Amino acid sequence: MADFVKYDEDTKKFVVDADGNAVLNDGVTVKVTQLDETGKEIPKQVRGFKPVSGNSKALELVLHTRDAAGNLIKDNQLEDNKAVHVEITQPSSNGEKKAQADFILTDARKPEATSVVAQGLKTVVVKFSESVAEADIQLDGDLTKIANVKFNDFNQATLEDERDTVTVTTVDYLTAGIHSVQLSNIKDYAGLTDPKNISTNQTLDFAVEADPSVPNATVSVESPEQFRIAFNKEVNDFDLSDVRLQKLVKGQNGAADQWVDAHNEHLVLEQATKPKSEYVLELTKDWTKIYDTSKNNTNYYNDQYRLVIAKESVTNPANGKKNAEIILPLNFSGSALNTPDTASPVISGFEVVKAADAIKHFVVSMNEPVKLPNAATKDNAGNTAAQLQNPNENDADTGVPNPIIEFLGKDKDGNAVTIKGKVVEYTGDDKSDKKFIVNVADDQRKLEDIVKAGGDKNWTLVVRSISDDVGNTAASLTYNFKVDLAAATEVFMVKGSYQDGPYNGVKGYLNGKGKDTIVLDFTADVQYTGTIENAVNPSNYLLDGVKLPEDTKLTVSDSDNIPGVDIVTITLPDGTLSANHNNVITLSKSLKSTKGTKLTGEYEISFKAGLGVEPADADAAKAVDNQIAALPATITLADEQKVVDARAEFDKLSDAQKALVKNIATLEAAEKTIADLKKAEGDAAANLKAAQDAVKAMETAVDADLTSEANLVAAEKAVADAEAAVAKVAAGSDKEYLAAKVTVAKKTVADARTKFNGDAAAALKAAQDAVEALETAAKADLTVENNLTAAEDALDDAKAKVAKVAAGADKTALEEKVAAAEKTVTDARKAFDDLAAAKTALNNAIEAAQSKYDAANEGTNPGDYATGSKAEFKTAIDAAKSVLDDAASTKGQLDKAKEDLATAEATFDGKKIS
């Protein structure tokens, strides 16, 4: 196989083209033909080669019969019972080696189905006794509708041959039980032209196993803003309305904790392509904006979350069973929702995707979901910028950086080269946003071309400024890889068929008043020493059938496409070449490349001479080329005027002269270096100013009262900001001075934090003791004034000590206990005061009644009271006193006694004689 088809050692697969056909080794040709009715040769396109089982010296030649969609390619099959001609050419050390054979194709076998099996609930695979071209297929007498029938093909890359299988996809899910497939009009490839190779009808049964399962699901947290729901099988009817995000809300005043719907307006759902049983749920708004973290200092990790899939919202299509309510906790052990995500994304894998000797693209794998604002395919959740990236509440799509892609390597001369890249799109069937495609930018040299030209095959991918879901941005990531290309057999020619197309490397030029030239651009490096194999030996050429003129000059140069020298320029006296007629250059068959490869292709090449280059234009271009070449190898800002002068001289040239300048790329690179150095100089000044401002802000923050937690947190942030800003300052005395200030401040803040944490521990212990004492006091008999006063004192003490505890779960728990005790004590105080007020009111009423009683006289005179009335009044007064004196009397009883006494007093007043 390897003698005929190129093999990729990286992928361990044979190399194929875009249509899946074999990429043959250089110099290998395969020709398969049959004659039509007129006797004309009809070529057939070849798919590739396949080993023959049991015969290591034989290969099976496979024709290209189907397109990528599985459709038959018209007329590329062999006609049965007809002569076939096969011709294979291979290069060898003794020149081309050709093998050919003629035979009559006869195929007497009819294809038959040998088995049928169900794969899953929507796929049926039918296997035949040989390769099949066509067949009419029904399932269950056409009761089960078919969505698609695919006749499988030969895979040259892996050598898997599935031409004897047909894959049937159904519209609906297959039900459990016995099914049947009906086959008719079965044709192998001979059957397309010979009706004797068409099989009779066949019916085969196959079983679909019953599926009793009920839909269920699990969840994984791929990032704080992305969750993957995985059902135990493919389900029907699942969409965003079926799942709810819920948050646990703590109960107040002794009430139970409660799960409530939260942030569901900021969710999107996407089904994975593979497996289709998985769905990705993403936030469309960053957590920092949902929580307003910059203001409230809280985030997702301060709360508990879960997903709830509603009862009977999804269906197992195999049995119609629906789900029970599915609860999926998101704060399981190890979940990304449990702690702050402060880690930037890293590259976890890299793949070079090739087609033959060309690189199609590169696939980058990350350890977590990332944001690609400029990708061709967008994240369906949007860019979800964090507050630090974009504080605008209603703008989630700006502020996320666009990743910068570069490829670093070395050219054939060992010089470092940087090739700009681009992000193409997300990829991956799981829709995880962890994989994306990158490629070389449109205006850049391809990596494989640099390697083919003799460059180093070791390269480094650089990804700069790439953010994850929550805004962590990796400044610069790298991944080392190799560009290994399939080994190619060298071809040495100047005109002929080369790399699947015609090639002509012969050009002639009249060059005005200058000397005529013939340029021979060979496909491989030429020899320029020796005699008969030497490409600069004039005796190896004839021009129009005669030797080259005596004053002919031959020189060699490099095309820059491959290493070495591959261009021969023959400079002739002016007027040697014909301006109006064809010229013919003849090359000696003894010419060889530097690797000893013999000259192939055409040896006599006819060409017409073009106008070429005027000598004055060539001289002008050469002067500018020399000026550019004189620029220093390492450009500094001190060389700016030299670069400007070279550009000015280039701009003075005509368009024709500019086209002759070979060193324009060197000039452009020098201009870019100057621009970069200027920008770096400006950036350095800006970085220094930013660092000075950050250090000043840090010193202000550190001078604040660091016993205050808010001040301490602000100082810690200011130190971190200053340290980051100083890190960007260019090396020198300014950086050392600012770094020293950061070091001092960092120690001050660290010491303050240590002291604060120690004080915080003491404050927590004191608060815990005070709250424990409060709870004990609150449990005493608070109807006793001394107990109540003691509880109130304990409440004040606990409040004061809890206020000194640092914010966090401990403080929250203590505050909840204080709140509960405070309610108990406050309620007790109100009850105590209400009872005392009732006693006072009743006592005042009794004293007033007693005074009235003492002053009253019974008799018949005006002002006297009726006989017996005082005794009745006295009974009422005594009853009220009895209630007042009873320590167990309640407020209600006291209020009732007061009302009864008032009634008796009114009755007594009514018995006064007027």
* pLDDT, mean of each 10-residue run, the chain (914 residues): 81 87 88 87 90 83 86 84 86 74 82 91 92 91 91 92 94 88 90 83 89 92 95 91 94 86 94 92 91 88 94 89 94 91 92 81 94 80 80 68 93 90 92 94 90 88 92 90 73 85 91 91 89 91 93 85 78 92 93 91 93 86 92 90 94 89 89 87 87 95 90 93 90 90 93 83 89 93 92 94 84 92 93 92 94 92 91 94 92 94 93 89
The reported pLDDT for the residue numbered 854 is 94
Distance CA 105, CA 85 (A): 10
Picking from 509, 493, 375, the residue whose alpha carbon sits closest to that of residue 438 is 375
The reported pLDDT for the residue numbered 243 is 96
C-alpha neighbours within 13 Å on the C-beta side of residue 327: 7
The reported pLDDT for the residue numbered 127 is 96
- SS3 call for 767: helix
The reported pLDDT for the residue numbered 742 is 93
Joined together, the tokens standing for residue 906 give 């009114």
Whether residue 884 contacts residue 839, with contact meaning beta carbons closer than 8 Å, is answered with yes
- SS3 call for 679: helix
Joined together, the tokens standing for residue 510 give 């009249």
Whether residue 100 contacts residue 211, with contact meaning beta carbons closer than 8 Å, is answered with no
The reported pLDDT for the residue numbered 56 is 75
Cβ neighbours of residue 803 closer than 8 Å, sequence gap 6 or more = none
Picking from 697, 635, 625, the residue whose alpha carbon sits closest to that of residue 662 is 625
- SS3 call for 828: helix
Whether residue 181 contacts residue 151, with contact meaning beta carbons closer than 8 Å, is answered with no
pTM for the complete prediction?
0.50
The reported pLDDT for the residue numbered 486 is 60
Whether residue 362 contacts residue 407, with contact meaning beta carbons closer than 8 Å, is answered with no
Token pair 């290591």 is found at 56
- SS3 call for 66: strand
- SS3 call for 69: coil
Distance CA 517, CA 534 (A): 19
To the nearest 10°, the Cα dihedral for 732, 736, 739, 743? 160
The reported pLDDT for the residue numbered 263 is 94
* Pairing between β-strand 243-249 and β-strand 258-261 as defined by DSSP bridges: antiparallel
Distance CA 110, CA 200 (A): 9
Picking from 604, 613, 396, the residue whose alpha carbon sits closest to that of residue 504 is 604
Instruction: Please give the backbone phi and psi of residue 395, each rounded to the nearest 5 degrees, phi first.
Output: -125, 105
- Which value, in Å, is the radius of gyration of the alpha carbons in the chain? 47
Cβ neighbours of residue 205 closer than 8 Å, sequence gap 6 or more = 116, 178, 179, 180
Distance CA 269, CA 226 (A): 10
The reported pLDDT for the residue numbered 95 is 63
Count other C-beta atoms under 10 Å from residue 3's C-beta: 9
The conformation of residue 5, written as its DSSP 8-state character, comes to B
Kindly provide the b/e burial profile for residues 219-246, where b requires at least 16 CB atoms within 10 angstroms of the residue's own CB.
bebbbbbbbbbebebbbeebeeebbbbb
Max Cα distance, the chain (Å): 175
